[in-house]
Amino acid sequence: MPFSLTRRGTAVIVHLTGLLENSEWVRLIDDLDELAGQGHHRIVLDLSGLESIESSGLGSVVQLVSRCRMRGSSIGIACPNAFVLGVLEVTRLDQWIGVSESVEHAIADDGATR
């Protein structure tokens, strides 16, 4: 499975690796939506191990952010590689979702953009 979860207090860090297929994004969204409903107020997507992101992945990130915000949670992105960061910048998602250079900064930012 290309993602795993780590909990730190009320934060959940999602470690993504390799290439995520559409069905995996759907499962990830469902899992994180459930965690947000359980009181995890900060969700951080650690993209350090993610090789690439495709359009379905971007759509899933947008859907995930919307669901989390509706539940009172915030979401941030940490450690994207140059390619993924470029995609986030071109689509301007980096201005809608906080992007940080480290997981620790993403947890502390609590929704601020870089």
35: its two tokens: 């965690």
* pLDDT on residue 82: 95
In the three-class reduction of DSSP (H, G, I as helix; E, B as strand; rest coil), residue 112 is classed as coil
CA dist 44 → 13, 107, 109 (Å):
5, 7, 10
Predicted TM-score of the model (pTM): 0.86
Place of tokens 């009320």: 10
* pLDDT on residue 81: 94
Strands 3-8 and 11-18: antiparallel
> Tens of pLDDT along the chain (114 residues)?
478 889 888 889 999 988 877 778 888 888 887 877 777 788 999 999 998 888 888 888 898 888 888 888 889 999 999 999 999 999 999 999 999 999 999 999 865 443
Q: What's the CA gap between 29 and 85, in Å, rounded?
A: 20
Tally the residues of the chain.
Answer: 114
Q: Tell which CATH classification among 3.40.640.10, 3.40.390.10, 3.30.750.24, 2.130.10.30 matches the domain 3-109.
A: 3.30.750.24
In sequence order, what are the beta bridge partners of 74?
A: 42
How many CB atoms lie under 10 A from the CB of residue 2?
Answer: 15
Place of tokens 């934060």: 11
* pLDDT on residue 111: 52
Q: Which amino acid is at 32?
A: L
